[in-house]
Chains A and B, each alone.
Chain A
Amino acid sequence: MKFLLLCCALLVHANVMADEPLPWAEVTHELGEIDALPAGRLSKRALESLNQTGKALFSAHFTPADGAGRPNATQAIIPTKTRRTREHVLLRTAGPDATACASCHNQPVLGGASDFVTNVFVSEGFTQADFDSIDPQFSNERGSNHLMGAGLIELLAREMSRDLAAIRTDALVRARDTQNDVRLELTTKGVSFGFISASAEGLVDLNEVSGVDDDLTVRPFSQKGVMTSLRQFTVNAMNHHHGMQAEERFGLHVTGTDDFDGDGYANELTPGDVSALVAWQAMLEPPVQEVPNDEAWIAAALRGKSAMENFGCTGCHKESLPLESLDFFDPGPLDVVGTLSSSSVEEPAIYDLSLTFWADQLTRNEDGHVLVPLFGDLKRHQMTDHKNEALGNEKLSQRFVDRTRFMTAELWGVGSTSPYGHRNDYVALRDIILAHGGDAKVSKDAFAAANDSTQLDVVAFLKTLVILP
């Protein structure tokens, strides 16, 4: 009798345990941990908790039991079925090509960049879902950027997009009031994106717009500057690199099935999972300028910074851009359906970046705005000309952006993230500088004309822009 009772007890226990994965099970325990989408201003404690989950998910090696792999879906941003079921969970070219975000974003810290060996292959994945070759006619080969300070970058882009939209509205209203065409410069935070012309009937001419998409949304992420937000990038990358499909893009209400990739696992990433990943990335400590304890290096770095200004490098690699608010709304205001946005939820969460340990270290200007030391302008530029074609090595345009146009690389952290360039194939800073062309030709030529000592000074300065371990 006692034996029977014990058996029953064990069975009951086993049933209870069946809902909870065993501690040693090959699953990511943190998935689904955030069961409700965060909303409102998060306390420091709540933010830290969310952050912890986000870090765990960023570091997790996703397994088939998590839903990793996408046998019937391509890497495309728009849910797209494969023509045939994939035989391999992992595939170096078309992906999934990693089991964890951290597999690539780890140099020199979690969330950092990576070496050439982890380059990814970017293609839209619509008609050529599988490709065996890394020939550039099939995809663009890209290095993995670091994510340090990504929250600040996205906030800058949001404010710039807001400013550009306001200029567009201003032009339209003035055109309406005057019944004449109105042409205004699209300038925000000291960065000019050309001119916009509005007509009295409400039409805008975009022929003079430069460096930003026609919808005037500054998309700060990816080498090309074609991704709007950390949330969008996360949803894209989770599918592309891991075959982990987010409900907000691939779920039942979008695709008609809760298992679009056909791996037997439904709703692999909840909106809460994505929020945790976004929060962790948004709160990553930005790179800093670390002055070495070396008088000669300090002097060289000073001269190098001055030389960069003289060459005109800082016309695009602007030392800093002012940021008005450290409130990071998630979901954000600029995403469209397919990625959760502020208009898709009752109340977005606010991650107050001023609660981070690093916020106080940021310089502020006289208006109280944070000066984000990104050494960039969040603008796309032509990077080649007929004499300088080295950076024109891609054959596919991406998301309406020509092959030879790229977002200005933010130089913060460059001292910690060798190699360089969008293909991650320039081992020395001097070489990547000399590869510049197009809009950067004059500056590059000035650098090339400088003597070795001055060129080394520039390198000395760039090597002070580091990611702290």
Chain B
Amino acid sequence: MKLNYFSISLINVLLFGPVYAQTERNPEAVVFPNFKVQTDESGINHQYTGSWEFFVGGGGAAFDCNGDRMPDVVLAGGSSQAQLYKNISTPAGDIQFESVPLNVKESDLTSVTGAYTLHLDQDQHLDIVLLRVGRNVLLRGDGNCGFSKANRRFDFDGGREWSTGFSAIWEGDSAYPTLAFGNYVDQSAPGSPWGTCHDNVLVRPDSDDFTSNPSYSDSQLLTPGFCSLSILFTDWNNSGEPALRITNDRQYYRGGQEQLWRVPLDGAPSVYSASDGWKSLTIWGMGIAEADLNSDGFPEYALSSMGDNMLQQLDPEADEDQPQYVDVAFNEGTTAHRPYEGDDSKPSTGWHTEFADFNNDARTDLFIAKGNVSNMPDFASIDPDNLLLAHPEGGFIEAGAEANINLPTQGRGALVSDFNVDGQVDLLVINREAPVSVFRNLGVKESWGARPSGNWLAIELQQEGVNPQAVGARIAIKTGNLTQTRTVSVGGGHASHSNGFIHVGLGVAERASVRVRWPDGNWSHEYRVFANHHAVLKNGNDKPVYWYPVFR
């Protein structure tokens, strides 16, 4: 295996040469966001720790646990306890949190690898899914940052696997979400860890009774599993029917590959194969992010890995409805296959990956958390996180150093969220065996301070009753000739997910026309919204409602 890593590294060097040999893009044409490290003053005292089982994972979730629309966070701790922090930031000020006790059994809060949040029941309060090495835990929120374990209430066993990925979607007319768990190595199997991967699990609610609780007593195995590290429900073919994209770690599987599953409501799940056009791809798959970068209705996928990171796009030569992807990472400048600074030219190790517009220029950027697995000598030991900014002429340009996020930490999960609700996306990176990194986005650095980099919009979707956050909805944001799209999803990343306002950079536009394809497939009328606002769009309402953070 070490030989393989080395080979990959060598191939990169031989084929691609130094990082700068990729297409030259003028850095002066890009506006660099400037992040200020605010870990020490953030009030967060948290590390992701532990031995081999916690070399992976290290995620968390940003979400609003108390209804004030400020993103709070829950962080996985590995061998340490998972922790909840309430956001007490001053709007447009420093990022600050305070610890809030999670009043559940200590044993449920340890061995946690990641966290996702969603509405599991109908009480309109966000709930938490804790991924664990062992039984996964559902925590039911009370709307005031209080949580209680709800496995029994929701008839959810939680399994015994080593879970590292999660995604959820509301299927058809279901009152409750379908849950998908991505599982990693089966440690109890003979020969473990090599070639012993757990199957992944699909859990559909038994009951569609809107007035009761969901029941998650039955689960379906998605066999074969290939040691998944990220899983995401995605409408890859713009059909309105979600499929399940799974990225897998070749470190441990045998004969495995990346996967895309059909999960029809009225039939058995089945994996797309070569006969469907699916091309086998074997990578050290760590995280998935999706974004429709060219607004053609078909999402692109960023897959983090060791060495080259992938950027997959539907092959334009492929037949319609064939999930045949080509990797455009090299042309787009997103391979990020080695550290962009320092003397260590060994391959990088990528983990959480997420698209967002960090400089509000109306172009979608890409963040990748980086860090050596632990002490793997064939991979870079100093491996700073990447911030790949979209370039006006196409492709991406590395900006981690210019943006001041180039810390020598071992990043894992990350939360990309506007913690101080100033319209500029901030960043919280969960590091292994080190404190989290909290980065406040100040805007564009100037000799006298900072200035806003671009205009923005933050969108919250609301529906009455079922699926109140409209998970599965697609949002089209139009400014001039440009249409950007966003998808409301729960899942992907690396054991991490940010819930809440959906951020869109608007560049120099003062206003935007927004249309929503609600989860039922119906497109909304045009909402007319003004830039630099938090807009709440409710299904059925004529006009947006604006939210103002004047409460502190």
Name A residues whose Cβ lies closer than 8 Å to a Cβ of B: 76-80, 124, 126-127, 168-169, 172-173, 176, 201-207, 213-215, 217, 249, 252-257, 336-338, 343-347, 399-400
Contact = CB atoms under 8 A, between A and B. Distances in A.
Contact of B28 (A168, A252, A338): A252
Nearest to A235: B508
B391 interface: yes
Contact of A344 (B451, B481, B509): B451
Given A206-B543, A215-B530, A337-B455, 4 more contacts: A204-B545, A336-B508, A336-B510, A338-B508
Contacts of A201: 67-69, 547
Contacts of A249: 508
A346 B508 CA distance: 20
Nearest to B529: A214
Contact of B29 (A176, A257, A343): A257
Given A172-B550, A202-B551, A215-B530, A346 B449 contact: yes
B125 to A, nearest CB: 13
B29 A256 contact: yes
Contact of A214 (B448, B479, B546): B546
Contact of A126 (B360, B481, B531, B547): B481
A337 B453 contact: yes
B479 A78 contact: yes
Contact of A172 (B29, B67, B548): B548
Interface of B: 26, 28-31, 67-69, 360-361, 391-393, 446-449, 451-455, 479-482, 507-511, 528-533, 536, 543-551
Contacts of B533: 215
Contacts of B452: 336-337, 343-344
22 contacts: A76-B480, A78-B480, A78-B482, A78-B509, A80-B481, A172-B550, A172-B551, A202-B549, A202-B550, A204-B546, A213-B530, A217-B530, A252-B29, A257-B392, A337-B453, A337-B508, A338-B509, A338-B510, A344-B452, A345-B451, A346-B446, A400-B511
Contacts of B510: 77, 336, 338, 399
A404 to B, nearest CB: 17
B392 A255 contact: yes
A176 to B, nearest CB: 6
Given A78-B479, A213-B530, A338 B69 contact: no
Contacts of B528: 214, 400
A350 B486 CA distance: 42
Nearest to B31: A253
Given A80-B481, A255-B392, A203 B545 contact: yes
A346 B444 CA distance: 13
Contacts of B480: 76-78, 80, 124, 126
A337 B454 contact: yes
Contact of A336 (B392, B455, B529, B536): B455
Nearest to B360: A337
A397 to B, nearest CB: 10
Max count, chain A CB within 10 A of own CB: residue among B455, B528, B533, B544? B528
A79 to B, nearest CB: 7
B504 to A, nearest CB: 14
Nearest to A340: B451
Contacts of A344: 451-452
Nearest to A204: B546
Given A344-B451, A400-B528, A78 B551 contact: no
B508 A256 contact: no
A176 B551 contact: yes
Nearest to A346: B448
A206 B30 CA distance: 37
A256 B545 contact: no
A148 B299 CA distance: 52
Contacts of A338: 455, 507-510
A269 to B, nearest CB: 15
A399 B26 CA distance: 34
B274 to A, nearest CB: 40
Max count, chain A CB within 10 A of own CB: residue among B360, B391, B533, B545? B545
A346 B449 CA distance: 8
B216 to A, nearest CB: 30
A446 to B, nearest CB: 34
A254 B506 CA distance: 11
Contacts of B451: 343-345
Max count, chain A CB within 10 A of own CB: residue among B449, B481, B544? B481
A337 B423 CA distance: 13
B546 A256 contact: no
B508 A214 contact: no
Contact of A202 (B447, B532, B547): B547
Contacts of B546: 203-204, 206, 214-215
Contacts of B544: 214
Contact of B508 (A124, A206, A254, A400): A254
A400 B531 CA distance: 13
Contact of A168 (B449, B453, B530, B548): B548
B242 to A, nearest CB: 30
Contacts of A347: 448
A54 B221 CA distance: 73
A317 B462 CA distance: 42
A310 B392 CA distance: 59
Max count, chain B CB within 10 A of own CB: residue among A78, A337, A345? A337
Nearest to B361: A254
Contact of A256 (B393, B536, B543, B549): B393
Contacts of B547: 201-204
Contacts of A207: 543
A254 B543 CA distance: 30
Nearest to A250: B508
A169 B549 CA distance: 10
Nearest to B460: A203
A237 to B, nearest CB: 16
A215 B529 CA distance: 9
